[in-house]
Structure 1
Amino acid sequence: MIRSFGIPDPGPLLDLVPDHRPVLWLRGGDGMVGWGEAARFETTGPDAFDEAARWWREWLSGHRRQGAPGPVAFGSFGFAGGRSVLIVPRVVIGRLGGVTWQTIVDDAEPAGTTARRPVPRVRWLEDGAEFERWDAAVCEVLRRLRDTSLAKVVLARGIDGVLDDVLDLRTAVGLLADRFPTCWSFAVDGLFGATPELLVRTASRAVSSLVLAGTSWDDRQLRNTGRIAAEHAYAVRSVVDALRQSGAELDPCGEPEMLRLANVTHLATKVTGRLADGVQSVSLAGRLHPTAAVCGTPTRQAFDTISEVEGIDRGRYAGPVGWMDADGDGEWCIALRCAQAEGRSVRAFAGAGIVEGATSSVEWAEVAAKFGAIRGLFADDQVLAGCR
């Protein structure tokens, strides 16, 4: 039996969660927190999204439900067909627009909570030859941009850190939510971060997406640089085309706006419309992924270039992360400004779009600024050179 019922507002959601692999989804004071595992589904490969949708329908068919909104599955998907996971917590507490509720699966007992622990010290393991590898990758992409039909390729970096203690994900996500209140701060199966990019949200037949591409520290540069405008246009076009191929009727897109975050500014375009009946949010996320914002244009060619040139395993970085309810509606973002925590290890990721006219040093600086979202959590950020 799955029971959902309204509850009085309990205050900060993070104060309700025990410190044991919680699932967290927060934005601007609203969101959901969950703990325990009523069910878990893991898969790999290109059909992960459809397999996840099928598993979710089958799992729901075996459980009686009482009350709304019902059970929620939180998910995170590999960028390139790697490990993907759905988790159905035993307990979920959510708040949206002043309405607070709780969902319990199989009469799970509420877990005792403990005070959030401070963020441990970290020692980042950086390699002095990493910029040379980055420069070589960027130069190879620029060559392919000149010689092929490629128009954009997104390259990413990963940095590893060693923690003095196991990271309390509640603390990390709470700090990210405070610093980036307009972002979606999350933790799903050890992957945590604060992403500004909404891949797709569905509610009944309404659909929306927030496309970000083009990054700068100078608002005037965003407005006046043709390279950044072109990069943004590629990303918007990839989302619009994928939604239309899924049968969505879309509203006209407005002009890009500037989305200012604590560390960088992006060009942003909101895409809205209406879906055909019966489209599940997780399946739609699979059709949209990967967008030009995290892969490039043309997508297939850019994807192949990444696998040949980038030289890292992205894992679930830049893959969809989010949740869906019993109706298949949900909210899926792109896992950006994020890191994977395992024991006393942490691996952070960030990337930049390479288009004609890009330079290795400028794109390196952009990636470094994006790393600041995770590195900024650790007050005594240290670097151990040559340890990787």
Structure 2
Amino acid sequence: MSTLPLTATLVRTRAVPDPGPLVGRLPGAGGLAWVRRGDGLVAWGEAARLEVSGPDRFAEAARWWREVCATILVDDPVGLPGTGAVALGSFAFGDDDGTRSVLVLPRVVLGRRGGRAWLTTVGDAPEADAVPEPVAAPVGVVYGEGAVSPVRYEEAVAEAVRLIAASPLEKVVLARDLLAVAEQPVDPRWLLGRLATRYPACWTFAVDGLVGATPELLVRLERGLVTSRVLAGTIRRTGDDDRDLVLAASLARSSKDLEEHEYAVRSVADALAPHCTGMNVPETPFVLHLPNVMHLATDVAAVAADRSSSLELAAALHPTAAVCGTPRDLALAAIDRLEGLDRGRYAGPVGWVDATGAGEWGIALRSAALDPDDPRRLTLYAGCGIVAGSDPEAELAESQAKLVPMRDALGA
């Protein structure tokens, strides 16, 4: 664990004119972002920082954030979710792999929501916008196998299907990775700009070297309303609109995909139940159309029944069946046995929390992690839900489709 001391205790939020594309305002490569359909937050500098690992990482982070908020004074006439003191964070998927989770109170936050924009500063951070440095496109990107080759992935899927047939395991999510190496250090702002433009319906994020555009909202808490978007069940788009409509209809009827989706929805509803009342879980999913794939999707909504923050709700939900499997303990054991890679912060919660506890946390999917020791190198990740009817070749193809957003962002 490490924290940087606050240089002062005053957090000031002021309304500002529309800043244009938020990711274009990041002054350098080390910024943070959480943007969807042009709204959201970008931030830079660090007034305070927590690094933590292990099974208590969420509890320690929630406690640290409460302690930070208790030491500051907030001047916030804007009064929207995401104004005042805000921390952005990214958490490890697993309890025991030693991956550090990060929660940062930035020195400067630029936000926009519903036509209103604001600038938040901590301590003596300047209120004037920093002048962004030029952003260069990645050069000479080449790809190589990660820890899990395509052949090895198909073998793992086949073994998972056999395990499901012979045990109480119903679903397990298996991930694979892909290594990308550029000739020069990769500027995350280039990736953010491409992702935000091409995938506006997703939540585009950057936290401490983890960059992506996730279609899956783990949890949002705002004015007592809790919402979650659950995705499970995927089919690749062809680029032919008529053909894609036929594929969408087949996805909506697919017993294999509906089974996978049911597990994911049930895991979210069960995890939220102790913290919520009046839960609304639609009986049938809808098909979410993205540029590269289509997903079965369900939006769960409920009313908060306790004082849990959005970060604490994210901790209660993680890992859902959408990124782990079900039953959870058996799925985690199967991942440990079959997957063959270190997920790091891939498929962990990523997002933000403010001083009131409001916030948004997505699942870090469609993402890549920059190598902290060599910023020319990135590891791209994709995962698929394996159930009794899964076919190894089809699951490999699905994983390749899920790698498309990051490959496109790199200019492939």
- TM-score using structure 2 length: 0.90
Determine if the alignment matches structure 1 residue 26 to structure 2 residue 45.
no
1:226 counterpart letter in structure 2: S
Tell me which residue corresponds to 1:386.
Answer: none
Q: How does 1:147-226 map to 2 (within 5 A)?
A: 147-217=166-236, 218-226=247-255
| Cα pair 1:121 1:378 within 8 Å, conserved | no
| Cα pair 2:219 2:314 within 8 Å, conserved | yes
- Out of 106-115 and 347-356, give the one that drifted further: 106-115
- Out of 256-265 and 370-379, give the one that drifted further: 370-379
Instruction: Indicate the SS of the match to 1:237.
Output: helix
Determine if the alignment matches structure 1 residue 72 to structure 2 residue 104.
no
Tell me which residue corresponds to 2:290.
Answer: 261
The alpha-carbon distance between structure 1 residues 132 and 55, as it changes in their structure 2 partners (threshold 3 A), is same
RMSD in angstroms over aligned alpha carbons? Answer: 1.4
- Out of 244-253 and 289-298, give the one that drifted further: 244-253
Determine if the alignment matches structure 1 residue 86 to structure 2 residue 124.
no
Distance in 2 of aligned mates of 1:277 and 1:55:
20
Tell me which residue corresponds to 1:297.
Answer: 326
2:266 counterpart letter in structure 1: R
Determine if the alignment matches structure 1 residue 349 to structure 2 residue 381.
yes
| Cα pair 1:205 1:277 within 8 Å, conserved | no
| Cα pair 1:119 1:377 within 8 Å, conserved | no
1:140 counterpart letter in structure 2: E
Instruction: Indicate the SS of the match to 2:287.
Output: strand
Tell me which residue corresponds to 1:55.
Answer: 64
Residue 73 of structure 1 and its aligned partner are, at CA, apart by 0.3
Instruction: Indicate the SS of the match to 2:124.
Output: coil
Distance in 2 of aligned mates of 1:14 and 1:226:
40
- What's the % identity of the aligned pairs? 48
Distance in 2 of aligned mates of 1:353 and 1:14:
32
Distance in 1 of aligned mates of 2:204 and 2:398:
21
- Out of 117-126 and 72-81, give the one that drifted further: 117-126
Distance in 1 of aligned mates of 2:15 and 2:157:
53
Tell me which residue corresponds to 1:96.
Answer: 113
Distance in 2 of aligned mates of 1:330 and 1:63:
19
Determine if the alignment matches structure 1 residue 112 to structure 2 residue 111.
no
Residue 297 of structure 1 and its aligned partner are, at CA, apart by 0.9
Residue 232 of structure 1 and its aligned partner are, at CA, apart by 0.5
- Out of 5-14 and 112-121, give the one that drifted further: 112-121
Tell me which residue corresponds to 1:135.
Answer: 154
Residue 248 of structure 1 and its aligned partner are, at CA, apart by 3.6
1:115-173 deviations in whole A, cap 9, x for unaligned?
22223331111279823311221122111101110110000001111111111111111
Distance in 1 of aligned mates of 2:193 and 2:171:
34
- Out of 178-187 and 80-89, give the one that drifted further: 80-89
Instruction: Indicate the SS of the match to 1:344.
Output: strand
Tell me which residue corresponds to 1:35.
Answer: 44
Matching residue within 347, 351, 365 for 1:336: 365
Residue 377 of structure 1 and its aligned partner are, at CA, apart by 1.8
Distance in 2 of aligned mates of 1:367 and 1:86:
29
| Cα pair 2:366 2:405 within 8 Å, conserved | yes
2:213 counterpart letter in structure 1: A
Distance in 2 of aligned mates of 1:145 and 1:190:
35
Instruction: Indicate the SS of the match to 2:269.
Output: helix
1:214 counterpart letter in structure 2: G
1:72 counterpart letter in structure 2: V
- TM-score using structure 1 length: 0.95
- Out of 136-145 and 121-130, give the one that drifted further: 121-130
Residue 352 of structure 1 and its aligned partner are, at CA, apart by 0.5
1:24-49 deviations in whole A, cap 9, x for unaligned?
11100111110001111010011111
Distance in 1 of aligned mates of 2:268 and 2:151:
33
Determine if the alignment matches structure 1 residue 371 to structure 2 residue 390.
no
1:15 counterpart letter in structure 2: G
- Out of 359-368 and 107-116, give the one that drifted further: 107-116
Residue 251 of structure 1 and its aligned partner are, at CA, apart by 2.0
| Cα pair 1:124 1:161 within 8 Å, conserved | yes
The alpha-carbon distance between structure 1 residues 320 and 248, as it changes in their structure 2 partners (threshold 3 A), is farther
Q: How does 1:237-276 map to 2 (within 5 A)?
A: 237-276=266-305
Residue 252 of structure 1 and its aligned partner are, at CA, apart by 4.0
| Cα pair 1:20 1:35 within 8 Å, conserved | no
Distance in 2 of aligned mates of 1:205 and 1:278:
9
1:241 counterpart letter in structure 2: D
Instruction: Indicate the SS of the match to 1:317.
Output: coil
1:152 counterpart letter in structure 2: K
Listed as ranges, the gaps of 5+ residues in structure 2 are 1-9, 237-246
- Out of 251-260 and 76-85, give the one that drifted further: 251-260
Instruction: Indicate the SS of the match to 2:230.
Output: strand
1:134 counterpart letter in structure 2: Y
Distance in 2 of aligned mates of 1:275 and 1:319:
22
Residue 219 of structure 1 and its aligned partner are, at CA, apart by 1.0
1:210-243 deviations in whole A, cap 9, x for unaligned?
0000001321321221011100011000000100
Matching residue within 283, 286, 308 for 2:337: 308
| Cα pair 1:161 1:346 within 8 Å, conserved | yes
